[in-house]
Amino acid sequence: MLKLALITVCFIAFAMLLLCIKMLLVPGEKFGSTHIGNNKEMRKRGIHCVQSMDAIERQENPYQVKERAN
């Protein structure tokens, strides 16, 4: 069990090193934006992040039918 845990920790450490290699070797580099709204292909398809979609849905519709109060 301990051997498996050690192998898992080493694997995760190696994966993190590979993910960060560019940041470690090139000064001033940082990861690109991970927001859906900044992805060109997602914008083409009209897909936005959850927060943006929620804000759009909460806007009042100027074309809605007003209900009468009895």
Mean pLDDT across the chain? 83
- Enumerate helices (H) and strands (E) in the chain, giving the number of each: 3, 0
Please give the Cα distance from 36 to 46 (Å, whole number).
10
65 is a domain residue: no
15 is a domain residue: yes
68 is a domain residue: no
This prediction has a pTM of 0.39
Position 70 scores a pLDDT of: 66
CB 36 within 8 A of CB 42: yes
45 is a domain residue: yes
Residue 26 has pLDDT above 90, yes or no: no
20 is a domain residue: yes
Per residue in 41-60, pLDDT tens? 888 888 888 888 888 888 88
Domain count, the chain: 1
Position 13 scores a pLDDT of: 95
70 is a domain residue: no
- The boundaries of the domain holding residue 22 are 2-58
41 is a domain residue: yes
